[in-house]
Amino acid sequence: MELALWEIIMKKTTLIEELGVADYPQGFVTDIAADTIPPGLDENIIRTISSKKNEPDFLLSWRLAAFRHWQTLQEPSWSSVRYPAIDYQSLVYYSAPKSNKKGPASLDEVDPELLRAYEKLGVPLEEQKLLSGVAVDAVFDSVSVATTMRDQLAQHGVIFCPFSEAVAKYPELVEKYLGSVVPYRDNYFAALNASVFSDGSFCYVPKGVHCPMELSTYFRINAANTGQFERTLIIAEAGSSVSYLEGCSAPRRDENQLHAAVVELVAMEDAQIKYSTVQNWYPGDSQGKGGIYNFVTKRGECRGARSKISWTQVETGSAITWKYPSVILRGDNSTGSFHSVAVTRNFQQADTGTKMIHLGRNTSSTILSKGISAGHGHNAYRGLVRVAGKADGARNHTQCDSLLIGSQCRAHTYPYIEVKNPTAQVEHEATTSKISEDQLFYCRQRGLDPEDAISMIVNGFCQDVFQELPMEFAVEAHKLLSLSLEGSVG
């Protein structure tokens, strides 16, 4: 590990130099003709989305049921984030590049303008430029525009394709698992997503198969005034394993944009799912103007005995992050983990954490959360550990560390612990610290300028989480963190 880390640091240093001072290099807009439906939300809009995708009846009915339920709900107000009311009727719920009408057939048919956009984002899609060992599904606004490495995956029986395609080709799998971990009744944004979701990634790993490469989806919001509502479903059959990565970005715009995604993971007996996110939605400018509202429901279910689900997230973007990747530990001896770095600066707000729901015997979970606040940033960890009556021998360890940079920022920790079984062992530790004058002086005396010094100290603070990330993403994470801290000194 150490030498790998070593290389990361090297790369990080050169990447920072290349990127210079641009603090959000992904903030460009791609000029591309789009098929966009009018703003507004009603049953007709939902029918329109569904018919654009030629969906089977079960799916339309499910969407409509979700919508009717959503209409009975109130937007939640229990979290610590604050934002002006969202006018759901003014949003556009579907926008797709015109050139993508028939969906992505082969990479040669993908609009070169889109290929250029992804290349600029550091996610080349063309065969000869692909990152080795990573398959990419590229989602642009409401649709998937390309998925790479599909043939190689198919040879192993692994299905990795846009969600819409899975609906068409594998309706029985979709019907069986869709909403089985995050039902549309779960919460306000989950109901909204179920009503209008447009695309996302679908992944199915058959029994006993270890997915031969990393799978990843890169989400890009491009169109203005448009919400992105994608849905990801990953199913790992008994004895299989898969590692999935997710990245995202959006243009720099003055208006806020809504991103309300749902991710469901299902791990059967002895299966393992590792899900990593580097979230870099546009965070808004230094005055707090613009940025993405990232209201996301992510949950995995360890359905089988000895199954394992781990969430690792690095959250540097978004004006507001509201997100609690969770694990339901149903199978006996199953394990769940959540490793998180959340950075808020300027006027960013984050209310993020996890839920570990222990249902099975001898289940164990680990939570490691690192919150970093700078500027006027507001960072809250909110986590629930629940041990049900039958979960004999359940164990949880939670560690929440907050780091403050400057005096205007805030950090809070809200741990909720509900234990109904006397044999449970639940531990919670929390720390809050500042970068000390001594550390800064020490690094500067050795020759690091203040920004590099802070970046190094903060990267150190996050190290335990970064080492959970796959290599490619660890580099990205270091780079992002350094960029997002630029100008935080003093």
Partner 1 sequence: MLNINNLHAQVDDKDILKGINLNIAPGEVHVVMGPNGSGKSTLANLLAGRDGYTVSQGEVIYKGKDLLTIPTEERAWAGIFLAFQYPVEIPGVSNLQLLKAALNAKRRNNNLKELDAFEFLEMVRSKIDSVGMSEELLQRAVNVGFSGGEKKRNEILQMTILEPDLVILDETDSGLDIDALRIVGRSIEAMRDSQRAFLIVTHYQRMLDSIKPDYIHVLSDGYIVKTGGSELALELEERGYSWLGKGEAA
Residues forming contacts to partner 1 in the complex (CB under 8 A) are: 2-3, 5-7, 9-10, 13, 436-439, 441-450, 452, 456-457, 459-464
Quickly list H helices, 216-369. none
Our CB check for partner 1 shows the closer of 43 and 449 to be 449
367, two tokens: 């939570």
Our CB check for partner 1 shows the closer of 392 and 464 to be 464
* Strand 95-97, strand 34-36: pairing: antiparallel
Q: Is-contact 465 341, C-beta < 8 A?
A: yes
CA 447 to each of CA 13, 137, 405, 453, 458: distance values in angstroms, whole numbers, following the listed order: 15, 42, 21, 9, 17
Our CB check for partner 1 shows the closer of 184 and 461 to be 461
Question: Whole-angstrom Cα distance, residue 463 to residue 483?
Answer: 17
Least Å distance, CB 381 to partner 1, is 18
Least Å distance, CB 412 to partner 1, is 22
Least Å distance, CB 457 to partner 1, is 6
H helix or E strand, kind and range, residue 292? strand 291-302
Least Å distance, CB 273 to partner 1, is 27
Our CB check for partner 1 shows the closer of 94 and 466 to be 466
Our CB check for partner 1 shows the closer of 84 and 447 to be 447
Our CB check for partner 1 shows the closer of 4 and 154 to be 4
Question: Whole-angstrom Cα distance, residue 356 to residue 346?
Answer: 31
Least Å distance, CB 63 to partner 1, is 46
379, two tokens: 């960072």
For residue 154, give the amino acid letter: A
176, with CB counted inside 10 A (0-12, 13-18, 19+), is exposed
Least Å distance, CB 432 to partner 1, is 14
Our CB check for partner 1 shows the closer of 9 and 33 to be 9
Least Å distance, CB 463 to partner 1, is 4
Name the phi and psi angles at 28, rounded to 5.
Answer: -85, 160
The DSSP-derived string for 179-207 is: TSSS-TTS-HHHHHHHHH--B-EEEEE-T
